[in-house]
Amino acid sequence: MTALLALLAAVVATASGLPGLLFRRRPTLAQRLSAGALCLAAAIGFGAALPVLAGSPPSVLHHAWGQPFASLSIRLDPLSAIFLVPILAIPALGAVYGLAYWPQAQLGARAIRLQLWYGVVAGSMALVCLADNALLFLFAWEVMALGGFFLVRSDGDRTDAQKASWVYLVAAHVGTFAIFAFFAAVGSARGSFDFAAWAGLRSTGAAAGWLALLALVGFGLKAGLVPLHFWLPGAHAAAPSHVSAVMSGVLLKTGVYGLFRTAGFFEAPPASWGIVLMALGAASGVLGVALALAQHDLKRLLAYHSVENIGIITMGLGLALLGRARGAPGLVLLGFAGAALHVVNHALFKSLLFLGAGSVQHATGTRNLEKLGGLARAMPWTAGLFLVGAAAISGLPPLNGFVSEWFVALGALRALELPLLDRASFAVLVAPVLALVGALAAACFVKVQGTVFLGNPRSADAARAHESPRAMLLPMALLAAACVGIGLLPSLVVGPLSRGAAAWSGMPLAELRPDALGALDSAAWIARVALLLLALVGAVLLWRRRQRTAPDPVSETWGCGYAYPTARMAYTGSSFAQILTSGFRWVLFPRVRFAPPRGFFPSSSRFSTEPREAVLDLALLPAVRDYISATSRVRHLIAGRLHVQALLVLATLIAMLAWRLLWW
Amino acid sequence: MILRALLQIGVLLLLPPLLLGVVNRVKAIAAGRKGPPLLQLYFDLAKLLRKGAVYSRTTTWVFRAGPAVGLAAIATAGTMLPVAGQPAIVSFSGDFVLFAYLLALARFATALAALDTGSSFEGMGAAREVSFASMAEPTLFLVLVVMARATGSLSLSGMLGPALAPAWRAAAPALLLSAIALFVVALAENSRIPVDDPNTHLELTMIHEVMILDHSGPDLAFILYGASLKFFLFGALLVRLVADVGATGFWSAEGAFVLELLAFSVLVGVVESFMARLRLTRVPQMLVGASILSVFALVLLLR
């Protein structure tokens, strides 16, 4: 029953773009209908997911499909439900935001195209999480990847969007290829392409290792794990902001979902798989935030933070896998809970931040941090809501980011309970890595909030900023409320998460229960401390208010005696991050242009740094260029000469025949 | 029981300014000066709380909320710290993560308030504060991991409770290394020499002091008091770790704890008197050195 509802939600979401096409004459109405359809889909999806999260058994739907090996199999279990909630909620909120941000009334065909693909992507993401058959999964996966390509190109005339979309398309298909190979190998070994028949894959031996590697590459490429993240910042920065919110907030999570689902197929995996995931997660976390620190473009910066957060999620998943390898329920529960909750949390605060970035771009026309500043005065609501997102992504209490990072950190500490001399207890190092990532993220978001919203405007565009319309503020406010809500009431999420952990790991719920109760107790304490914190802040502010008898005098900022400070003297974002970025020079490879002042009366001098995407700009693109130039030397030998081509075909056939006869 | 809890809260709230007075007195004696009264910070706080404040035209509500959030976050973190052999008011499995992140929240609020002024000096201070903090944070976690491993507990009250004495007998080298690392972190987090000089007079070289240049009146009082509270928290963490005298009676334990804290202040004063401030570019090396020490401590326990 719930599976049918979930499928209905996916269908409604997929069709949500049609009103734009049907009612071209009444664009505003059409766009409202489209946003309404996505909200309806989200409501239906919640109706399907919440009972499953509350403990009702998984729901299955099975239909035959004409395609060979395929079947229309839908399965809604707690793991799917956890992913389904943000996957339907974020596009709905993004569509409401789009009413004002990307209005069909002004943009016409561009907006219609965007809404069509937007709905298709939302629906196919939901289907990815529901599919219980490998071919249905691949079908939804491919539709989702193609839809993403067209969404990135919504602003089709911009060259950066075009370039980014092609890189995205190539990366997406390399990933699909790896997943295809993985599915084909498992499916032919098992004789069925239904996921239900795949449970209990052997996890020892070289073959299992290769299978796991294929899945890791395929899904890791979608999730944006370092070093497979190269396509991500360009694509997410080039798309319109509510599309970026969907892509960064939930589209990446389908890769995470794939990792979770695949890990669930295997029987208790060797500890090394968990360790590999933790190492990759740690690398993604630290390098993602380091790359983010160096960015000048607000949306690229946010996109790199997605790499960081995917790293945190992967570390949690690695801990859970290690727990399954060693039969440690505490590790399984806390690792899974941290990873799964961070999936939801990251969807919430990253969408909030991307929508905030969209509002900034909407109000000023620029995303360059060095040209912004002082926006809090003109757009107080946006600034306040962005601040909630910034604090949440930095993992600060009393917000939701803290709760999931707390789960992961505590899970890492549970690795200390492994037997003495077990090398795997070094998994505890996840905790200090998490602390490093959290502190760097906090540094980065102090930089963002400070250079965008605080201080004085650094350009005329920033000085002319205006507050966003209500349709843009409302989705942001809902997202911020969700961030605060999970932060203040973490006890609510422990139950669903422990059910998800049980369903995913195959451990009986009774075995996880002691740890779940412990987590529940701690969650209650976290809630109390959060309330105490809020009460203390309120008390101090109230006392301050009562104590003030006359309005406070106002003056200039202290400039060490200098009376006419200007915005040009203020610290820029680049200077703010300089100490940390210079520590990370070995991964940033910044392009530095420096013309030092010369002579006794220097006329002009300039200094600029431009961060580069190391994997894409320094490794992949040069390699592709070399490959093309190398093959171009042979190409003229073959091109247009039919007899040479025929000879090559013949030679290949003979070689294969010889190989078949002699060695096989 | 309630009386004891009240006394603990009283120590937590009233003692901190005295500790900074002791540090300053030690520095004065070492320099051959008479120095300000031991209770000078109390006098300053009382005076500032009665004054008004001046606000820059550039600032928004973030600037006004910063000191209040900072103070509240540090005080909330204080409820998780066991004082003198008693379990803390708030104690649960994993509370040390919340402790560290509350201190991070205080830093976040202070740094944002600094950027709200639009002053380049305060931007410099905020940049240095968050950069050095992100180098100190992993060390703090590593030290806490070592303590968790040595005592088998995941709450601060358990780590610093009765299980600590046997842990010292079993794993003294690891705990000693982590105590040294924790001392370095404490100096950095509290903006003491050799990382930062609280008495410097040049804005260009400051870290913490330059962040709060524009705060005045009660806001400044909140910040100064919050800083002393943070000093107390790190001092308490350290003296509970290294000098758990095992006094059993409530009053003797409480008295020993206060004396140990005063000794910690004297130690910090001595370090400040006989060391020069490091160049800013050298600070990361010291912090990374401390984290390497704590990794060694962990390896000693896990090998």
Give me the pLDDT at residue B70, please. 97
Structure tokens at A256: 């995470």
Residue B269 amino acid letter? G
Query: Region A220-234: what's the mean pLDDT?
Result: 93
- Please give the span between the terminal C-alpha atoms of chain A, in angstroms, as a whole number: 52
Question: What is the percentage of chain A residues whose pLDDT exceeds 90?
Answer: 74
Q: What would the pLDDT profile of A369-401 be if each residue is shown by its tens digit?
A: 999 999 999 999 999 999 999 999 999 999 999
**For residue A398, is the peptide bond before it cis, meaning its omega torsion is within 30 degrees of 0?**
yes
Question: What is the percentage of chain A residues whose pLDDT exceeds 70?
Answer: 100
Give me the pLDDT at residue A167, please. 94
Is the Cβ of B124 closer than 8 Å to some Cβ of chain A? yes
Give me the pLDDT at residue B248, please. 67
Residue B206, pLDDT > 90, answer no
Residues from chain B contacting residue A408 (CB–CB below 8 Å): none
Residue A66, pLDDT > 90, answer no
Query: Region B5-25: what's the mean pLDDT?
Result: 90
CA distances from A430 to A253, A415, A427, B299 (A): 21, 10, 6, 14
Q: Which long-range contacts (CB under 8 A, 24 or more apart) does A206-211 make?
A: A208/A266, A211/A182, A211/A185, A211/A186
Rounded CA separation A77/A137 (Å): 15
Residue B84, pLDDT > 70, answer no
Residue A12 amino acid letter? V
Residues from chain A contacting residue B174 (CB–CB below 8 Å): none
Write down the mean pLDDT value for chain A: 92
pLDDT band at B256 (very low <50, low <70, confident <90, very high): confident
Is the Cβ of A316 closer than 8 Å to some Cβ of chain B? no
pLDDT band at A611 (very low <50, low <70, confident <90, very high): confident
Rounded CA separation A281/A262 (Å): 17
Rounded CA separation B82/B240 (Å): 9
Residues from chain B contacting residue A432 (CB–CB below 8 Å): 138-139, 141-142, 145, 291
pLDDT band at B116 (very low <50, low <70, confident <90, very high): very high
Cβ atoms of B53 and B218 within 8 Å: the answer is yes
Give me the pLDDT at residue B201, please. 67
| Residue A542: φ, ψ to 5° | -65, -45
Residues from chain B contacting residue A541 (CB–CB below 8 Å): 65, 68
Q: Which residue of B has its CA nearest to A571?
A: B120
> Shortest CB distance from A560 goes to which of B68, B111, B121?
B121
Residue A318, pLDDT > 80, answer yes
Rounded CA separation B74/B102 (Å): 7
**For residue B37, is the peptide bond before it cis, meaning its omega torsion is within 30 degrees of 0?**
no
Residue A53 amino acid letter? L
Residues from chain A contacting residue B137 (CB–CB below 8 Å): 435-436, 438-439
The residues, ordered by sequence, that sit 6+ positions from B58 with a Cβ below 8 Å of its Cβ are: A374, A455, A456, A557, B116, B117, B118
Rounded CA separation B302/A415 (Å): 11
Query: Region A574-590: what's the mean pLDDT?
Result: 88
Tell if the CB–CB gap between B130 and A376 is shorter than 8 Å.
no
| Residue A467: φ, ψ to 5° | -70, 150
Residues from chain A contacting residue B101 (CB–CB below 8 Å): 395-397, 402, 405-406, 438
Residue B30 amino acid letter? A
Residues from chain A contacting residue B203 (CB–CB below 8 Å): 560
Give me the pLDDT at residue B32, please. 94
Q: What would the pLDDT profile of A635-659 be if each residue is shown by its tens digit?
A: 888 888 889 889 999 999 999 999 9
pLDDT band at A532 (very low <50, low <70, confident <90, very high): very high
Q: Which residue of A has its CA nearest to B141?
A: A432
Tell if the CB–CB gap between A529 and B76 is shorter than 8 Å.
yes
Residue A233, pLDDT > 80, answer yes
Give me the pLDDT at residue B179, please. 95
Rounded CA separation A309/A288 (Å): 8
CB hemisphere CA count around A553 (13 angstroms): 10
Q: Which residue of B has its CA nearest to A286?
A: B134
Query: Region A477-490: what's the mean pLDDT?
Result: 96
pLDDT band at B246 (very low <50, low <70, confident <90, very high): low
Query: Region A403-422: what's the mean pLDDT?
Result: 90
The DSSP 8-state label assigned to residue A418 in this structure reads S
Rounded CA separation B81/B87 (Å): 8
Give me the pLDDT at residue B245, please. 60
The residues, ordered by sequence, that sit 6+ positions from B137 with a Cβ below 8 Å of its Cβ are: A435, A436, A438, A439, B100, B104
Tell if the CB–CB gap between B104 and A394 is shorter than 8 Å.
yes
Tell if the CB–CB gap between B56 and A554 is shorter than 8 Å.
yes
Tell if the CB–CB gap between B115 and A446 is shorter than 8 Å.
yes
Cβ atoms of A392 and A483 within 8 Å: the answer is yes
Q: Which of A154-163, A280-289, B194-203 shows the highest mean pLDDT?
A: A280-289
Is the Cβ of A565 closer than 8 Å to some Cβ of chain B? yes
Q: What would the pLDDT profile of A129-143 be if each residue is shown by its tens digit?
A: 999 999 999 999 999
Cβ atoms of A325 and A273 within 8 Å: the answer is yes
Pick the residue of B48, B89, B91, B98 with the most A CBs within 10 A to test the interface with A by mutation. Answer: B98
Q: What would the pLDDT profile of A38-56 be if each residue is shown by its tens digit?
A: 999 999 999 999 999 998 8
A46 closest CA partner among A99, A8, A97: A8
Give me the pLDDT at residue B54, please. 92
Residue A365 amino acid letter? G
Tell if the CB–CB gap between A522 and B94 is shorter than 8 Å.
yes
Could you say which residues from 408 to 437 on chain A have a Cβ atom under 8 Å away from some Cβ of chain B? 409-410, 413, 416, 421, 425-426, 428-429, 431-436
Residues from chain A contacting residue B134 (CB–CB below 8 Å): 436, 439-440, 442-443, 580
Is the Cβ of A274 closer than 8 Å to some Cβ of chain B? no
pLDDT band at B273 (very low <50, low <70, confident <90, very high): very high
Distance from CA of B52 to the nearest CA of A (A): 7
Residues from chain A contacting residue B156 (CB–CB below 8 Å): none
Distance from CA of A594 to the nearest CA of B (A): 22
Tell if the CB–CB gap between B105 and A397 is shorter than 8 Å.
yes
Residue A210 amino acid letter? W
Residues from chain A contacting residue B296 (CB–CB below 8 Å): none
Give me the pLDDT at residue A590, please. 84
pLDDT band at A453 (very low <50, low <70, confident <90, very high): very high
Could you say which residues from 580 to 619 on chain A have a Cβ atom under 8 Å away from some Cβ of chain B? 580, 583
CA distances from A546 to A550, B54, B63, B218 (A): 10, 17, 18, 12
Rounded CA separation B98/B73 (Å): 10
Write down the mean pLDDT value for chain B: 91
pLDDT band at A230 (very low <50, low <70, confident <90, very high): very high
CB atoms within 10 A of CB A156: 12
Distance from CA of A622 to the nearest CA of B (A): 34
Residue B82, pLDDT > 90, answer no
Query: Region B21-40: what's the mean pLDDT?
Result: 94
Distance from CA of A454 to the nearest CA of B (A): 5
| Residue A297: φ, ψ to 5° | -95, 120
Give me the pLDDT at residue B172, please. 92
Tell if the CB–CB gap between A442 and B108 is shorter than 8 Å.
yes
pTM above 0.90, yes or no: yes
Structure tokens at B178: 């982590």
CA distances from A500 to A7, A10, A81 (A): 20, 21, 9
Query: Region B252-258: what's the mean pLDDT?
Result: 85
Could you say which residues from 223 to 282 on chain B have a Cβ atom under 8 Å away from some Cβ of chain A? none
Distance from CA of A37 to the nearest CA of B (A): 38
Give me the pLDDT at residue B18, please. 96
> Shortest CB distance from A554 goes to which of B57, B72, B76?
B57
Tell if the CB–CB gap between B112 and A397 is shorter than 8 Å.
no
pLDDT band at A613 (very low <50, low <70, confident <90, very high): confident
Q: What would the pLDDT profile of B160-205 be if each residue is shown by its tens digit?
A: 888 888 899 889 999 999 999 999 999 999 999 888 888 776 777 7
Distance from CA of B5 to the nearest CA of A (A): 16
Residue A444, pLDDT > 70, answer yes
Domain boundaries of chain B, sorted by first residue: 39-302
Pick the residue of A579, A580, A584, A585 with the most B CBs within 10 A to test the interface with B by mutation. Answer: A579
pLDDT band at B85 (very low <50, low <70, confident <90, very high): low
> Cα B283 to chain center, whole Å?
17
Between A216-220, A447-451, A506-510, the lowest mean confidence (pLDDT) is in A506-510
Residues from chain A contacting residue B153 (CB–CB below 8 Å): none
